[in-house]
Amino acid sequence: MWWYVDAFSDDGRHGITLIAQVGSCFSPYYASARRRRSSDPLNHNSLNVALYGEVKRWAMTERGRSALHRQPDRLEIGPSSLSWDGHCLSIRIDEIAVPLPRRIRGTVKLYPRTVAGQPYFLDGAGRHRWAPIAPGARVEVALDRPSLHWSGHGYLDSNWGSEPLEKAFRYWEWSRAELKDGGTAVLYDATRRDGQRTELGLHFDPSGRVEQIEVPPHASLPTTAWRMRRGTRVDAQKSARVTATLENTPFYTRSVLATHMLGEPVTAMHESVCLDRFDSRWVQVLLPFRIPRVPGS
């Protein structure tokens, strides 16, 4: 299970993503344990922190069961934590970046405009769910290491499942964008192992009302240096382009797009994930260089 937060600063100079993971779906150590048939999801936990823009940092240190503490309104993963007071999600960060070991420390506060709760099935068997908890939110970033203070529009969701992602999916694309009226549009486009596709388009208005929208036509985007293919859904007769590649890995990309949704130009956060690549031996060998694990955990 994971909780995902992203945000852009109002001035466009900064961005952040945070992913709190319990039973980390992209952990090479968890994948190895599953192959040995001795897996314990609670032994594979991390807080992924990524800073973009003028200051860049990336951290994802895996920790074992002893570093995980859970309460109804609080989650602790090692020295970092998430807590909910009924109005604000506070994320306290204390992590070490890779590959250069530089500290990331401070607080991110997310204030939802509304709180949604309905989960959506992403697969045909009902084993994988996605819940857009706060499609629209204000985010305040206050870090002392590095020194960063900004605020902007943010987003919060959660995913969970009863089997590894690579068992159900071959590939997926996801994007979300803030609209002029303060609402949010979200698109899911997943290629499943059963040969079917999940195509989901949702519009959340500022009051929290949600409506399903027709999924627009598909458009290809440039591949990355790792030859990862990318694509998105964009309004008919309109185009989409990549304005920034934030993450460029052998199996996963995160990008910023200039695109069109629901009849208006938008800036979208976008991701592409190839689970076939993730499950390959060569990618599994590379991942520990990016995802260290606390010794003895």
Whether 296 has a pLDDT exceeding 80, the answer reads no
| 3-class SS of residue 198 | strand
| DSSP H helical ranges for the chain | 28-35, 165-168, 275-278, 281-290
Question: pLDDT over 90 for what percent of the chain?
Answer: 94
> Domain of 109: which CATH number?
2.40.370.10
Rounded Cα gap, residues 63 and 44, in angstroms: 6
Q: Could you give the angle at the alpha carbon of 188 between the alpha carbons of 33 and 278, nearest 5°? A: 25
The chain-wide mean pLDDT, for the chain, equals 96
14 in any annotated domain: yes
Sign of CA dihedral 291, 160, 155, 147: negative
Residue 167's φ and ψ, nearest 5 degrees, are -75, -25
Rounded Cα gap, residues 145 and 101, in angstroms: 12
246 in any annotated domain: yes
Whether 207 has a pLDDT exceeding 90, the answer reads no
Residue 38, C-beta contacts closer than 8 angstroms, at least 6 positions apart? none
- CB of 257 closer than 8 Å to CB of 230: no
Residue 141's φ and ψ, nearest 5 degrees, are -110, 125
Roughly what angle, to the nearest 10 degrees, separates helices 281-290 and 28-35? 140
**187 pLDDT tier (thresholds 50, 70, 90):** very high
pLDDT at 246: 97
pLDDT single digits (tens) 57-86: 999 999 999 999 999 999 999 999 999 999
Distances (CA, A) of 134 to 121, 212, 261, 283, 292: 18, 17, 19, 33, 30
Rounded Cα gap, residues 28 and 25, in angstroms: 9
220 in any annotated domain: yes
pLDDT at 38: 76
**39 pLDDT tier (thresholds 50, 70, 90):** confident
- CB of 20 closer than 8 Å to CB of 64: no
Residue 79: both structure tokens together? 């020295």
Total structural domains in the chain?
1
Mean pLDDT of 136-164: 97
**257 pLDDT tier (thresholds 50, 70, 90):** very high
297 in any annotated domain: no
pLDDT at 36: 87
Q: Could you give the angle at the alpha carbon of 271 between the alpha carbons of 30 and 286, nearest 5°? A: 40
268 in any annotated domain: yes
Distances (CA, A) of 141 to 49, 181, 264, 268: 12, 24, 28, 20
296 in any annotated domain: no
Whether 3 has a pLDDT exceeding 90, the answer reads yes
Mean pLDDT of 258-265: 97
Domain assignment of residue 181, given as a range: 2-290
Rounded Cα gap, residues 260 and 239, in angstroms: 7
295 in any annotated domain: no
Positions of E strands within 26-181: 45-53, 57-59, 68-71, 74-77, 80-84, 89-96, 103-112, 120-121, 128-145, 147-161, 169-178
pLDDT single digits (tens) 231-252: 999 999 999 999 999 999 999 9
**208 pLDDT tier (thresholds 50, 70, 90):** confident
- CB of 82 closer than 8 Å to CB of 109: no
